[in-house]
Amino acid sequence: MDFFSLAITIVYVLLSLSLLISLVRVIIGPSLPDRVVALDLIAFVVISLIATYAISSGHPVYLDVAIVLALVAFLGTIAFARFVFVRAEKHEKEGTHG
């Protein structure tokens, strides 16, 4: 086994471990923002897995898929931030906290 294969294997193991830990946070996250951040992390770990596969297989076409997934994940994060902002404004106008 050469150094490149060993490095790719280590990257796959570490990314898989990160994915598992993020899934745990999604399941037991104490609040909605925690779960959304964990979902965002899962998206970027999947992007990293796709990029690693593109490098290890020598097929750079998969990088296009990773870029599209990154854009979709970014838009999802922006949508959630907008949702939280609107909800906070609504609660502020009503005079409630929570």
Find the length of the chain. 98
In this predicted model, which residue has the larger pLDDT, 94 or 66? 66
For 58-80, write each residue's pLDDT tens digit: 999 999 999 999 999 999 989 98
Identify the DSSP state of 87: H
Written as one letter, the residue type at 96 is T
- The stretch 38-50 carries a mean pLDDT of 95
E strand map for the chain: none
Report pTM. Answer: 0.84
- The stretch 27-52 carries a mean pLDDT of 92
pLDDT of 6 reads: 96
First to last CA, the chain: 56
Structure tokens at 95: 């005079």
How far, in Å, CA of 76 to CA of 38, rounded? 13
Band of residue 93 on the pLDDT scale cut at 50, 70, 90: confident
